[in-house]
Amino acid sequence: MYLTGKHLPRRTFLKGMGATVALPFLDSMVPIGRRFGMIEEPTRLVAIEMVHGAAGSSPYGLANNLWSPSGTGRDFDLSSTSLSPLDAYRDYLTIISNTDVQEAEAEEPMEIGGDHFRSSATFLTQSHPRQTEGSDIWVGTSMDQLYARRFGQDTPIPSMQLCIENVDQAGGCAYGYACVYTDTISWAAPDTPLPMVRDPRAAFDQLFGAGGTPEARAARRRAKASVLDFITGRVSTLKTQLGSADTARLDRYLDNIREVERRIQRIEARNSSGEERELPEAPAGVPDDFEEHARLMFDLQALAFASDITRVFSFKMGRDSSARIFPKSGVDRPFHPTSHHGNNEENVLDFAAINRYHVGQLPYFLDRLKETVEGDSTLLDKTLIVYGSPMGDPNVHNHKRCPLIVLGGANGKLAGNTHIKAEAETPMANAMLSMLHKLGADDIDSFGDSTAPMSLEV
């Protein structure tokens, strides 16, 4: 409750010395006499790509249900699949299996072999990239940007694009494709790729206006000052006008910001100490550990949603042809070579373990969203998360039976606890068209190579 009897605007900022911190949703932002459920609440969208398909898309993996379970509808068991880390969140899980990304396949003889270098551009556009190493790139407008164009324009940042691996290569990569096709999954227009942010420090500064200039930001980091130090007085003044519930909620939110900032500072200090790094080419703010990096990026997304700074994220968690090793998966071989498993049982199971490890990063994010209450529900209830790959079986570089799941409640539009197995040769674009409809863009009648909307209910 706002003690003055008035209500705070939802778009309230605390500003000071180049810092701009948006407030989370507070009870005092609800006009007197109105209930939470009467307030229009936007659906947040997160689109996550993990490259190289899945072990479950191989002949052995399909026969043994290594990605999606054998049961459909609501009667399915995740225990033997790479989706098993999501079992605790099955009520928020929709599995969409057996869809194809035909637009990522080679259309001309000269395109054969280039699957790794056009796949990422296809994932959220469901369109075929023009083969070029020049500036005449062309693919399609991505799903996240179609949503941001309509529903992200009244937030300070219409959308943000994040990634884990190095994506700053220029020019041509291989098989006649510009590197930008591999470097981003977000396209504002068919010829307009959006750059992805790898450095958590850069993302943090973008979200919280930490210093007006690069020099000011550098000086603040040298002084080890927190962005919150610049708004202490404004926080104290605001608290005198809030009720106890709002004060507690504000404290939790600010504590979360400070903790994320401290983690970034510790990483920068460690990576600038002169000790040997696993990722020597990475900025100081980028953790060498994959899991640590992913969790920081998830925390930043949760904070951004809590403050409604943006409602749209795309998150590229891998890069095609990556040779990264994921020791915590239990597999000590590089990612790309492991994906070429030869349909050998032992090798396929190794790749399935890496798939399970990658999926296993998602519950951390789901926890953060579920812990954040906004009005009469949680951020997880108000978010749609799509996670998948435009590749199917990486051993043969095909784009058949590609992995795809949806998480979250999408403001009541997704029932969860559902496995939908599509008819053979169903475009993944059909599922994404339906997701756009669930997000409120129900007047869009086609997307990529879609043939019809796909029911996401059983």
pLDDT over threshold 70, residue 6: no
pLDDT of the residue at 38: 47
pLDDT of the residue at 231: 87
More confident residue, 413 or 240: 413
22-26, 268-272, 309-313: lowest mean pLDDT where? 22-26
Quick check: 83 and 358 in contact, CB under 8 A?
Answer: no
Return the percentage of the chain with pLDDT > 90, whole number: 80
Q: At 210, is the pLDDT very low, low, confident or very high (cuts 50, 70, 90)? A: low
Distance of CA 334 to the CA centre of its chain: 23
pLDDT of the residue at 212: 56
pLDDT over threshold 60, residue 117: yes
Quick check: 297 and 46 in contact, CB under 8 A?
Answer: no
Q: At 16, is the pLDDT very low, low, confident or very high (cuts 50, 70, 90)? A: confident
pLDDT of the residue at 213: 60
The 8-class DSSP code of residue 33 comes to T
Count the Cβ atoms, other than its own, within 10 Å of residue 272.
Answer: 11
Nearest to 308 by CA among 29, 18, 6, 7: 29
Nearest to 73 by CA among 415, 403, 434: 415
pLDDT of the residue at 277: 95
* pLDDT tens-digit readout, 281-310: 999 999 999 999 999 999 999 999 999 999
Q: What is the residue-averaged pLDDT of the chain? A: 92
Distance CA 309, CA 299 (A): 14
More confident residue, 74 or 240: 74
Average pLDDT over every residue of 306-326: 96
In the block, residue with structure tokens 């947040």: 44
The whole-model pTM stands at 0.94
Return the percentage of the chain with pLDDT > 70, whole number: 92
pLDDT of the residue at 33: 52
The 8-class DSSP code of residue 217 comes to H
pLDDT of the residue at 458: 81
Distance CA 240, CA 263 (A): 30
Cα angle value 166/168/173 (rounded, 5°)? 95
More confident residue, 234 or 379: 379
Amino acid at 349: L
pLDDT over threshold 90, residue 355: yes
> Helices 290-307 and 200-208, interaxial angle, to 10°?
10
Distance CA 176, CA 108 (A): 12
pLDDT of the residue at 11: 77
pLDDT of the residue at 222: 59
Nearest to 443 by CA among 165, 197, 146: 146
For residue 211, give every residue at least 6 positions away whose Cβ sits within 8 Å of its Cβ, in sequence order, or none: 18, 19, 205, 217, 218, 219, 220
Distance CA 118, CA 449 (A): 16
pLDDT over threshold 50, residue 180: yes
Nearest to 304 by CA among 410, 186, 203: 203
Rg from Cα positions in the chain = 22
Average pLDDT over every residue of 449-455: 97
pLDDT of the residue at 233: 85
Burial class (CB in 10 A: 0-12, 13-18, 19+), 323: exposed
Per-domain residue ranges of the chain = 44-198+294-438
More confident residue, 13 or 334: 334
Quick check: 211 and 19 in contact, CB under 8 A?
Answer: yes
Burial class (CB in 10 A: 0-12, 13-18, 19+), 252: middle
Nearest to 85 by CA among 416, 367, 432: 367
pLDDT of the residue at 234: 87
Cα angle value 20/24/28 (rounded, 5°)? 115
Task: Tell me the C-alpha to C-alpha distance, in Å, between residue 130 and each of 85, 223, 304.
Answer: 37, 48, 34
Average pLDDT over every residue of 399-416: 97
CATH 1.10.150 is held by the domain 44-198+294-438:
no
Reduced to 3 states (helix: H, G, I; strand: E, B; else coil), residue 258 is helix
Quick check: 357 and 326 in contact, CB under 8 A?
Answer: yes
